[in-house]
Protein backbone atom coordinates (compact mmCIF):
# COMPACT_ATOMS: atom_id res chain seq x y z
CA UNK A 1 0.00 0.00 0.00
CA UNK A 2 1.36 3.43 -0.90
CA UNK A 3 1.98 6.05 1.77
CA UNK A 4 -0.97 8.21 0.70
CA UNK A 5 -3.40 5.28 0.65
CA UNK A 6 -2.13 4.13 4.04
CA UNK A 7 -2.51 7.65 5.45
CA UNK A 8 -6.03 8.00 4.04
CA UNK A 9 -6.98 4.68 5.60
CA UNK A 10 -5.44 5.66 8.95
CA UNK A 11 -7.35 8.95 9.04
CA UNK A 12 -10.56 7.00 8.55
CA UNK A 13 -9.94 3.98 10.77
CA UNK A 14 -8.49 5.95 13.70
CA UNK A 15 -10.78 8.97 13.30
CA UNK A 16 -7.67 11.02 14.03
CA UNK A 17 -5.30 13.56 12.51
CA UNK A 18 -2.91 13.28 15.46
CA UNK A 19 0.62 12.00 14.83
CA UNK A 20 2.80 11.23 17.83
CA UNK A 21 6.45 12.24 17.53
CA UNK A 22 8.88 9.80 19.11
CA UNK A 23 11.71 11.95 20.52
CA UNK A 24 13.31 9.81 23.26
CA UNK A 25 15.46 12.14 25.37
CA UNK A 26 17.55 9.93 27.66
CA UNK A 27 17.61 12.27 30.71
CA UNK A 28 13.81 12.47 30.62
CA UNK A 29 13.04 8.75 30.41
CA UNK A 30 11.22 7.16 33.37
CA UNK A 31 13.45 5.98 36.21
CA UNK A 32 12.22 2.41 35.80
CA UNK A 33 13.99 2.25 32.43
CA UNK A 34 17.28 3.83 33.49
CA UNK A 35 19.35 0.63 33.71
CA UNK A 36 17.92 -1.13 30.68
CA UNK A 37 20.29 -1.44 27.68
CA UNK A 38 17.32 -1.00 25.35
CA UNK A 39 15.69 1.78 27.35
CA UNK A 40 14.92 3.89 24.29
CA UNK A 41 13.17 1.05 22.51
CA UNK A 42 11.22 0.11 25.63
CA UNK A 43 10.13 3.69 26.23
CA UNK A 44 9.01 4.25 22.64
CA UNK A 45 7.34 0.83 22.41
CA UNK A 46 5.23 1.55 25.46
CA UNK A 47 4.34 5.02 24.15
CA UNK A 48 3.30 3.44 20.85
CA UNK A 49 1.13 0.85 22.60
CA UNK A 50 -0.48 3.48 24.82
CA UNK A 51 -1.28 6.00 22.09
CA UNK A 52 -1.93 3.85 19.00
CA UNK A 53 -5.74 3.95 19.38
CA UNK A 54 -5.71 7.73 19.07
CA UNK A 55 -3.30 8.47 16.22
CA UNK A 56 -2.92 8.38 12.45
CA UNK A 57 0.79 7.52 12.62
CA UNK A 58 4.12 7.84 14.39
CA UNK A 59 7.06 10.14 13.67
CA UNK A 60 10.40 8.96 15.09
CA UNK A 61 12.99 11.76 15.13
CA UNK A 62 16.23 10.08 14.06
CA UNK A 63 18.52 12.56 15.85
CA UNK A 64 17.41 11.36 19.28
CA UNK A 65 18.28 7.77 18.38
CA UNK A 66 21.55 8.58 16.61
CA UNK A 67 22.81 10.81 19.43
CA UNK A 68 22.35 7.93 21.86
CA UNK A 69 23.94 5.39 19.46
CA UNK A 70 20.54 3.73 19.34
CA UNK A 71 20.00 3.28 15.60
CA UNK A 72 19.55 -0.45 16.22
CA UNK A 73 16.75 0.35 18.66
CA UNK A 74 15.16 2.55 16.00
CA UNK A 75 15.25 -0.40 13.59
CA UNK A 76 13.58 -2.56 16.23
CA UNK A 77 10.99 0.12 16.91
CA UNK A 78 10.07 0.54 13.25
CA UNK A 79 9.81 -3.23 12.89
CA UNK A 80 7.58 -3.37 15.97
CA UNK A 81 5.22 -0.70 14.61
CA UNK A 82 5.03 -2.43 11.23
CA UNK A 83 4.23 -5.77 12.86
CA UNK A 84 1.81 -4.63 15.57
CA UNK A 85 0.21 -1.60 13.91
CA UNK A 86 0.60 -2.16 10.17
CA UNK A 87 -2.22 0.28 9.42
CA UNK A 88 -0.33 3.24 10.95
CA UNK A 89 2.28 5.04 8.80
CA UNK A 90 5.82 5.56 10.05
CA UNK A 91 7.17 9.01 9.22
CA UNK A 92 10.93 9.16 9.79
CA UNK A 93 11.79 12.73 10.68
CA UNK A 94 15.28 13.05 9.21
CA UNK A 95 15.16 16.36 7.29
CA UNK A 96 17.72 15.04 4.82
CA UNK A 97 19.14 17.27 2.09
CA UNK A 98 22.22 16.46 0.03
CA UNK A 99 23.43 15.91 -3.54
CA UNK A 100 21.93 13.05 -5.50
CA UNK A 101 24.59 10.40 -4.89
CA UNK A 102 24.46 10.95 -1.14
CA UNK A 103 20.68 11.29 -1.13
CA UNK A 104 20.49 7.85 -2.75
CA UNK A 105 22.21 6.40 0.33
CA UNK A 106 19.98 8.36 2.69
CA UNK A 107 16.92 7.04 0.85
CA UNK A 108 18.20 3.49 1.22
CA UNK A 109 18.73 4.10 4.93
CA UNK A 110 15.25 5.51 5.49
CA UNK A 111 13.21 3.20 3.32
CA UNK A 112 15.44 0.13 3.18
CA UNK A 113 17.06 -0.07 6.60
CA UNK A 114 14.23 1.40 8.70
CA UNK A 115 11.31 0.53 6.44
CA UNK A 116 9.67 3.92 6.92
CA UNK A 117 6.58 4.85 4.94
CA UNK A 118 7.69 8.47 4.56
CA UNK A 119 10.58 10.82 5.30
CA UNK A 120 11.07 14.54 5.81
CA UNK A 121 13.55 16.22 3.44
CA UNK A 122 14.96 19.68 2.79
CA UNK A 123 14.35 21.33 -0.61
CA UNK A 124 17.39 23.61 -0.41
CA UNK A 125 19.51 21.62 -2.87
CA UNK A 126 16.75 21.39 -5.45
CA UNK A 127 15.05 18.69 -7.49
CA UNK A 128 18.01 16.36 -8.05
CA UNK A 129 18.49 16.05 -4.28
CA UNK A 130 14.87 14.91 -3.88
CA UNK A 131 14.71 12.53 -6.85
CA UNK A 132 16.38 9.58 -5.07
CA UNK A 133 13.53 9.54 -2.55
CA UNK A 134 10.94 9.82 -5.31
CA UNK A 135 12.52 6.73 -6.90
CA UNK A 136 10.85 4.75 -4.11
CA UNK A 137 7.53 5.28 -5.85
CA UNK A 138 5.17 4.19 -3.07
CA UNK A 139 6.87 6.10 -0.23
CA UNK A 140 6.07 9.55 1.06
CA UNK A 141 8.42 12.51 0.63
CA UNK A 142 7.49 15.34 2.98
CA UNK A 143 9.31 18.56 2.10
CA UNK A 144 10.13 21.36 4.53
CA UNK A 145 8.09 24.41 3.59
CA UNK A 146 7.14 26.79 6.43
CA UNK A 147 8.72 25.36 9.55
CA UNK A 148 7.45 25.89 13.09
CA UNK A 149 10.59 27.54 14.48
CA UNK A 150 10.89 31.36 14.57
CA UNK A 151 14.20 31.34 12.67
CA UNK A 152 12.51 29.76 9.67
CA UNK A 153 11.53 33.27 8.59
CA UNK A 154 15.19 34.11 7.92
CA UNK A 155 15.01 32.30 4.57
CA UNK A 156 11.45 31.11 4.10
CA UNK A 157 10.06 34.66 3.87
CA UNK A 158 12.56 35.84 1.26
CA UNK A 159 10.71 37.16 -1.78
CA UNK A 160 11.31 35.52 -5.16
CA UNK A 161 9.61 37.34 -8.03
CA UNK A 162 7.06 38.68 -5.60
CA UNK A 163 6.35 35.33 -3.95
CA UNK A 164 7.76 34.24 -0.57
CA UNK A 165 10.16 31.33 -0.79
CA UNK A 166 7.96 29.00 1.26
CA UNK A 167 5.14 29.37 -1.30
CA UNK A 168 7.63 28.81 -4.11
CA UNK A 169 8.57 25.53 -2.43
CA UNK A 170 4.90 24.60 -2.05
CA UNK A 171 4.33 25.22 -5.76
CA UNK A 172 7.38 23.19 -6.79
CA UNK A 173 6.37 20.24 -4.66
CA UNK A 174 2.70 20.21 -5.63
CA UNK A 175 3.09 20.86 -9.35
CA UNK A 176 6.54 19.57 -10.39
CA UNK A 177 8.06 17.18 -7.86
CA UNK A 178 4.91 15.26 -6.94
CA UNK A 179 5.27 12.86 -9.84
CA UNK A 180 4.17 9.83 -7.81
CA UNK A 181 1.42 11.60 -5.92
CA UNK A 182 3.18 10.81 -2.62
CA UNK A 183 4.60 14.21 -1.67
CA UNK A 184 3.60 16.41 1.23
CA UNK A 185 4.79 19.55 2.99
CA UNK A 186 5.89 20.52 6.49
CA UNK A 187 4.06 23.63 7.70
CA UNK A 188 4.09 24.69 11.34
CA UNK A 189 0.98 25.17 13.47
CA UNK A 190 2.71 28.20 14.96
CA UNK A 191 2.04 30.11 11.72
CA UNK A 192 -1.67 29.60 10.87
CA UNK A 193 -1.77 32.37 8.26
CA UNK A 194 1.02 30.73 6.30
CA UNK A 195 -0.61 27.32 6.83
CA UNK A 196 -3.78 28.66 5.22
CA UNK A 197 -1.77 30.16 2.35
CA UNK A 198 -0.08 26.82 1.67
CA UNK A 199 -3.37 24.92 1.76
CA UNK A 200 -4.88 27.37 -0.69
CA UNK A 201 -1.83 27.13 -2.96
CA UNK A 202 -1.61 23.32 -3.16
CA UNK A 203 -5.27 22.30 -2.93
CA UNK A 204 -6.78 19.62 -0.75
CA UNK A 205 -4.95 16.51 -1.91
CA UNK A 206 -1.41 17.34 -0.68
CA UNK A 207 -1.00 16.22 2.95
CA UNK A 208 0.59 18.58 5.43
CA UNK A 209 2.77 17.50 8.34
CA UNK A 210 2.00 20.12 10.98
CA UNK A 211 4.31 20.34 14.00
CA UNK A 212 4.00 22.98 16.66
CA UNK A 213 1.01 22.18 18.86
CA UNK A 214 1.61 21.09 22.44
CA UNK A 215 4.97 22.23 23.78
CA UNK A 216 5.45 24.81 20.99
CA UNK A 217 2.10 26.46 21.66
CA UNK A 218 0.33 26.15 18.31
CA UNK A 219 -3.44 26.61 18.49
CA UNK A 220 -5.54 23.59 17.50
CA UNK A 221 -8.61 25.57 16.42
CA UNK A 222 -6.56 27.89 14.20
CA UNK A 223 -4.63 24.95 12.78
CA UNK A 224 -7.77 23.07 11.78
CA UNK A 225 -9.38 26.15 10.27
CA UNK A 226 -6.27 26.89 8.23
CA UNK A 227 -5.08 23.45 7.16
CA UNK A 228 -7.94 20.99 6.81
CA UNK A 229 -9.21 20.10 3.37
CA UNK A 230 -12.89 19.81 2.42
CA UNK A 231 -13.04 16.30 3.89
CA UNK A 232 -11.84 17.55 7.26
CA UNK A 233 -8.54 15.69 6.85
CA UNK A 234 -5.36 16.56 4.95
CA UNK A 235 -3.07 16.99 7.97
CA UNK A 236 -0.81 14.99 10.24
CA UNK A 237 -0.83 17.20 13.34
CA UNK A 238 2.23 16.23 15.32
CA UNK A 239 2.71 16.38 19.08
CA UNK A 240 5.82 15.00 20.75
CA UNK A 241 7.00 16.26 24.14
CA UNK A 242 3.53 17.13 25.47
CA UNK A 243 2.54 13.47 25.08
CA UNK A 244 5.83 11.66 25.71
CA UNK A 245 6.54 13.41 28.98
CA UNK A 246 3.00 14.01 30.22
CA UNK A 247 2.62 13.98 33.97
CA UNK A 248 -0.48 12.65 35.65
CA UNK A 249 -1.54 10.73 38.73
CA UNK A 250 -1.12 7.31 37.12
CA UNK A 251 1.63 5.44 35.28
CA UNK A 252 3.49 7.48 32.66
CA UNK A 253 1.94 5.41 29.86
CA UNK A 254 -1.52 6.23 31.18
CA UNK A 255 -0.65 9.93 31.23
CA UNK A 256 0.60 9.75 27.64
CA UNK A 257 -2.59 7.99 26.55
CA UNK A 258 -4.77 10.56 28.32
CA UNK A 259 -3.04 13.49 26.63
CA UNK A 260 -3.08 11.76 23.23
CA UNK A 261 -6.79 11.04 23.53
CA UNK A 262 -7.57 14.59 24.64
CA UNK A 263 -5.49 16.04 21.81
CA UNK A 264 -7.21 13.77 19.28
CA UNK A 265 -10.61 14.79 20.64
CA UNK A 266 -9.72 18.49 20.62
CA UNK A 267 -8.62 18.22 16.99
CA UNK A 268 -11.81 16.38 16.06
CA UNK A 269 -13.97 18.97 17.79
CA UNK A 270 -12.55 21.64 15.48
CA UNK A 271 -11.70 19.81 12.27
CA UNK A 272 -15.11 18.18 11.79
CA UNK A 273 -16.64 21.64 11.61
CA UNK A 274 -14.42 22.44 8.61
CA UNK A 275 -16.09 19.86 6.37
CA UNK A 276 -18.04 21.24 3.44
Residue 10, C-beta contacts closer than 8 angstroms, at least 6 positions apart: 16, 56, 57, 87, 88, 89
Let me know: does 142 contact 185? Beta carbons within 8 Å: yes
The residue among 110, 114, 109 whose CA lies nearest residue 81 is: 114
The residue among 114, 119, 117, 47 whose CA lies nearest residue 89 is: 117
Catalytic residue among 5, 6, 59, 95: 95
Catalytic status, residue 95: yes
Helix 100-107 × helix 127-134 angle, to 10°: 30
Residue 117, C-beta contacts closer than 8 angstroms, at least 6 positions apart: 3, 6, 57, 89, 90, 91, 139, 140
Whole-angstrom Cα Rg for the chain: 18
Q: Which residues are catalytic?
A: 95
Amino acid sequence: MSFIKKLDAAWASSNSLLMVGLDPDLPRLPAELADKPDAIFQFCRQIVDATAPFVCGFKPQIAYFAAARAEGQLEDLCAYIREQYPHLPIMLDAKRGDIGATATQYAQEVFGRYGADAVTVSPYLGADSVEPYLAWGDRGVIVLCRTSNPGGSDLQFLMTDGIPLYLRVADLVANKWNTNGQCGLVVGATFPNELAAVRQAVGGSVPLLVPGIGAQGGDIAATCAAGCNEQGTGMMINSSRAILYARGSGHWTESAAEVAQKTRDDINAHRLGTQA
